[in-house]
Structure 1
Amino acid sequence: METALANRKSPQHGRRSWNTKDILITGMIGVVFAFVLLAVTFAYFPLAALLGPAFSRITDGLFMIPGLMSLYLIRKPGAALAALTIGGIVMLPFSPYGLIGIVWAAAGGLECEVPFLAARYRKYSTSFLMLGGAVATLISTLLEYPLYGHAALALGVQITMLAVTVLSGALGGLLSKLLADAMLKAGFMADYRRSFAATDGK
């Protein structure tokens, strides 16, 4: 009885428990951004041919936005993984990557989770979202090394690629915060959780 009462009163317990609205918002973000990222995916091919392997990475941070937005709004473990996996499933019939696209989407979600997990899901400031995006995209690019042979590129190209990747991730984190705040201010989620003051500034 006392344990149940303590759990009910615990802010941590409430923050970690998903409800129907959390699921709906996460799904909505995943579905909406699936179509945005489809356009980015097809735009990447001519962009890569034009800019080369290093500067074309400027799009990397865009793929992290659904995960970072979901984490910022839901503030619960697994939000990024859920949003990006849902997006990957929606993209499946249209994506040039087939089923592997779902795996990459889920991996992107896990990459977004890493910095927030390290902070125990307690930090959601603009600077932390930018850091989170930078870390996520950096992890993503480093994991590509054995798959795509990035190590064979000239050292200068590799350094530039990693720098552009980090910058793109930071911009993705900033855009995630701005888009989420714009949604809240526009009243799209007027009845949703907005007690963010305790964590936004940390």
Structure 2
Amino acid sequence: MRNPYSTRVFLSAAAIGAAGGVLAIALNWVFIAINTTPLATLLIVAVFGVWVLPGMLSQVLFKAPGIGLFTLLVAALVNAPFTPYGVAQIWSTVIFGVILELPFAVTLYRFGSRRMFWIAHPLSQLLVIPFYVVGFDLAAFAWWVLGVFAVLTLASAAFFTWLAQFLAGRLQAAGVARPRRTPSVPPPAPAPPAVEG
């Protein structure tokens, strides 16, 4: 069985995580500025996939157990020093990384076809709903806000699942996840026949 881990895989996953962490820095500051409005809650739900997209992308590309969690940890380490959330950003991102790995861990990491990602990735995003309910006090909102919240959660999960697979396809075409081929060594030439003296 092929070992899915290599230095190249970890470096590529770390680069994806770092890029995602930089993107999340800007989003964190935007949401801090508008965090007191119901609109902010709906926007966070709509773009939540941005925070977990690096992990989803690494899972599609490398199909290695734990690689999604590793990628999100890198994203959090890049993100945390530049947002007011600080260390809390790391812990919350690690929790999301564990949730992202759960559907695959249940199947003992039988990644299989892309269909598995269409099941696991939306499911992992839907598992975050309890954090929304508690963190944003959704029970205090009007009924229509809850309805929009449910629709946005499903739409966001589907969109970012598609986006992860789209970006993975582009990166695979560019050779990011292509395994390196070991150069073939030609067999040694046969020894010349001994000359009888």
TM-score (norm 2): 0.78
C-alpha separation between the residues in 2 aligned to 1:166 and 1:110? 20
Partner SS, residue 83 of structure 2? coil
Unaligned runs of 5+ in 1: 1-10, 194-202
Does the 8 Å contact 1:55/1:160 carry over to 2? Answer: no
Letter aligned with residue 155 of structure 2: L
Within the alignment, does 1:145 sit opposite 2:133 as a pair? yes
Q: Is the counterpart of residue 36 in structure 1 residue 36 in structure 2?
A: no
Q: Are 2:7 and 1:24 equivalent residues in the alignment? A: no
Q: Which residue of 2 aligns with 1:69?
A: 57
Offset of 1:168 from its aligned partner? 0.7
Match of 1:103 among 91, 95, 100: 91
Give the partner amino acid of 1:72.
V
Distance 1:38 1:128, change over 3 A: farther
Q: How does 1:1-202 map to 2 (within 5 A)?
A: 11=1, 14-15=2-3, 18-45=5-32, 49=37, 51-123=39-111, 125-191=113-179
The answer for unaligned runs of 5 or more in structure 2 is: 182-197
User: Between Structure 1 and Structure 2, which shows a larger proportion of helix residues?
Assistant: 1
Aligned length: 180
Structure with bigger gyration radius: 2
* In 2, Cα distance between equivalents of 1:192 and 1:54: 44
User: Displacement of 1:138 after TM fit?
Assistant: 1.6
**RMSD of the alignment, in Å?**
2.5
CA deviations 1:2-31 (Å, max 9, x no partner) are xxxxxxxxx2xx45x633222212211111
Q: Distance in 2 between matches of 1:155 and 1:168?
A: 20
Residue type of the partner of 1:136?
S
CA spacing shift, 1:104–1:56, aligned 2, 3 Å: closer
CA distances 1:61-93 after superposition (whole Å, capped 9, x unpaired)? 121211111111221221111110111011111
Identical aligned residues as a percent: 24
Question: Does 48-57 or 134-143 show the bigger shift?
Answer: 48-57
Letter in 2 for 1:88: A
C-alpha contact 1:34 1:88 (8 A) present in aligned 2: yes
TM-superposed deviation, 1:123:
3.2
- Does the 8 Å contact 1:129/1:174 carry over to 2? no
Contact 2:103 2:123 in 1 (8 A): yes
| 1:54 alignment partner, SS class | helix
